Chain A
Amino acid sequence: MLGAPPAQRFAFKGKGGDLFVVLIVNMLLTFITLGLYYPWAKARKLSWYYEHTELDGHPFHFHGTGSEMFRGFIKAIALLLLIYGTYIVGVLTKEVTIVLVGILVMFVGLLAFIPLVIHGSLRYRSSRSSWRGIHFGYRGQLRELYRICLRDGLLTLITLGIYASWFTINVRRYTLSHMRYGSSSYAYKGDGTEYFLLNLKGYFLTLFTLGIYAFWWQRDLFNYYVNNLVWNFQDGKRIDFKSTATGGGFFGLMVVNLLIIIFTLGIGFAWVEVRTMRYVMENIRMEGDADLNAVVQTEQEHKNAMADDLGDLMDIGVFF
């Protein structure tokens, strides 16, 4: 299809000063409430990002609320306390076997949660996201995700980490291919081998160029994410995503970001976030003639935020 060049249809309209105020208010309230405000703060922040991200001039919307995330937060904390509690009780009893069982429960317990965290976060976050009043959704099966993680996790272990590239892409392909926007759906066509070669090349060239190639490696990773993503519509039409990011672009973005952070002693982080979001949104282009007006609402609400908060507490980034 040799038509018009990929169109820029995403835009990020947020201003650093505005985000700064939102984050400072969050900080104050989180502090005053001894951390209990955290879920509300998170909801406010996410809302702000969604509200300032636009596609075809229409903003996204985050529907999650502080109170439903608070319930998830409490459940996640209780679960983690249970897991760590087993370990601590084990240590206090001083029995070697009980200590070992405690350690085992802790590690296996935490590892076993990763697929659950990914699944739950995707379900929750997507169902609480909308554009033009139509909700996103995730229809992947938890059991299937466990199967992939178990199989690929073992293979990664056996191959001493080499299989990690395939692991990453298999999980990404499964999850993105089960993401929906109303009656339309997404697909990801990336594959592990290509991703592995890309990382191999990136790693060695970064090493040989004393780190300078890192920006081009970053570009390749970004492009591999975006260019393999497809948006399919009910009438058989589709939209391809195309990245226009460049190594030079990433270089400029990251170096200036670093300077801002250093010279403002970190106070400029809001401006750094905004610069980054703007760069990302401006460089995801769309190609195709599908009709974005024809999508119909299909997804139900999913209000359980536990896995999302569990992901936060365990420091697992689901949203790459």
Chain B
Amino acid sequence: MEREIPAVFYDGVTSKPQEATVRVSDLNSLEVVLPDGARFQWPLEHKGMEWERSSSMLRLSFGDHPRRVLLIRDELFIKSFVLRMRYTGRQGGYDRILSFARSGPVAFFLGVVALLVCAYLWVLPWAAERLVLLVPTSLDERIGEAAYQQMAFALKEDQGKTVALQAFGDAMELSPSFEPRYHVVEDAQVNAFALPGGHIVVFTGILEKMSSAGELAALLAHEATHVEKRHSTRMMARSMAGYLFLSLLIGDVNAVVTLVAENANALRNLDYGRGLESEADGVGQEVLFANDLDPMAMVRLLELLEREATDVPEVLAFLSSHPLTEDRITAARERAGSLGVPQRPNERLGVLFEQLHPTTDQPTDEMPSSDN
């Protein structure tokens, strides 16, 4: 290749560009000729020689700061130069990937997208779950404790009922890995919640609506399963992993993509949340059975929740964390059927339940204690 290739030369001393010509003198160096006739050899295998190729230009630089620079735009030369560098192993991995991507940008893009979707749908959840297994349960307790201390100020706890509920809960074996601590809080909401590590809060609103010890046991079994199965920690791990995944990918992209992706992620978390509710129902029923209680109590608890939750609009119910009660009731009924009724009914709970429930105010034909 005895061609003379036009190039631009910057000497690193002044900003004056020079129109140079480059000749390939041998395999390992270029000869550069400047307009004033000066000529020098440009070694290709020298450690101080660096090259970069952009879409339309080859940039060679040499020496210590300030470096001397050659810019070449001759396409033929660039092609043979890159081949030569690849042959001697001086082409970086990045350059290879970029050339590959440039040869079929659309296919490359679709491949990357497919890879990312697979990773998001399967690898990420798997990794997040594995991560939680590595985290000691004491972390659940610390997080739950800190969260409870923070919200305790705002909760109006009924001390007497709390003691009674603790006795009620302790009469069963609900969560072998943790020591559940129960709280009764004065609030009209028909609801209860569990914090990681063992704090379980039951509102008086739901207690009042209950008509049997079995329903309360089912509620505690459900919430204790959230604790035992570390649902909050798993949920946190999943949503954090999802968030990290997204911010990693779309850190550079605009607001619209971010919005779409973050909402998709949130919906997916909700979906996962529903899965956890079903698990809490199912395992809760097994726990009930193991404690000599009728698993049908879970069905009655869910029916109660459904009755009381009718004022929530359909759209919101779809998004809430205790949704789709109908489906859950059906599933719970099927499970109760396959588990059957325990041989030795648990009698003790009925007595404890009466301390928590103002039955004396409203004597009904259906005596709660006779339920089990």
- Footprint of B on A, CB under 8 Å? 13, 15, 17-18, 20-31, 34-35, 38, 40, 44-45, 47-48, 51-52, 58-59, 61, 91-92, 94, 131-135, 182, 261-262, 265-267, 269, 272, 292-297, 300-301
Contact = CB atoms under 8 A, between A and B. Distances in A.
B11 A266 contact: no
B249 A134 contact: no
Contacts of B11: 133
B254 interface: yes
A262 B54 CA distance: 30
Q: Which 6 A-B pairs have the closest CB atoms?
A: A133-B10, A266-B257, A295-B15, A293-B16, A51-B54, A132-B15
B248 interface: yes
How big is chain B's contact interface, by range? 35 or more
A38 B250 CA distance: 12
14 contacts: A27-B112, A28-B97, A31-B115, A47-B52, A52-B54, A59-B71, A61-B69, A92-B146, A94-B145, A132-B10, A266-B257, A269-B254, A293-B16, A294-B16
A31 B252 contact: no
B142 A92 contact: yes
B209 interface: no
B146 A23 contact: no
Interface stretch (B59-67, B158-166, B339-347): B59-67
B12 A133 contact: yes
Interface of B: 8, 10-17, 52, 54-57, 59, 65-69, 71, 94, 97-98, 101-102, 105, 108-109, 112, 115-116, 119, 142, 145-146, 149, 244, 248-249, 251-254, 256-257, 260
A59 B57 contact: yes
Contacts of B8: 58
Contacts of B57: 51, 59
B116 A31 contact: yes
Contacts of B102: 18, 21
A51 B8 CA distance: 14
B14 A134 contact: yes
B14 A295 contact: yes
Given A27-B249, A135-B66, A21 B14 contact: no
A21 B105 CA distance: 6
Given A134-B14, A294-B14, 7 more contacts: A21-B101, A24-B105, A94-B149, A133-B68, A293-B17, A295-B15, A296-B13
B112 A28 contact: yes
Contact of A91 (B66, B146, B257): B146
Nearest to A52: B54
A272 B15 contact: no
Contacts, number: 122
A23 B112 CA distance: 11
A185 to B, nearest CB: 14
Nearest to B261: A266
A44 B54 CA distance: 10
Given A35-B248, A59-B57, A297 B17 contact: no
A261 B249 contact: no
B268 to A, nearest CB: 18
B15 A24 contact: no
A58 B116 contact: no
Given A25-B101, A296-B13, A262 B256 contact: yes
B252 A132 contact: no
A304 to B, nearest CB: 15
Contacts of B98: 21-22, 25
In the complex, which of the residues A21, A92, A94, A292 has the most CB atoms of chain B within 10 Å of its own CB atom? A21
B142 A301 contact: no
B249 to A, nearest CB: 6
A45 B260 contact: no
Contacts of A293: 14-17
Nearest to B97: A25
Given A24-B112, A59-B57, A134 B253 contact: no
Contacts of A28: 97, 112, 115
B15 A133 contact: yes
Contact of A292 (B15, B66, B97, B142): B15
A297 B12 contact: yes
Given A51-B54, A91-B146, A133-B66, A297 B13 contact: yes
A18 B55 contact: yes
Contacts of A261: 254, 256-257
Contact of B254 (A25, A29, A272): A272
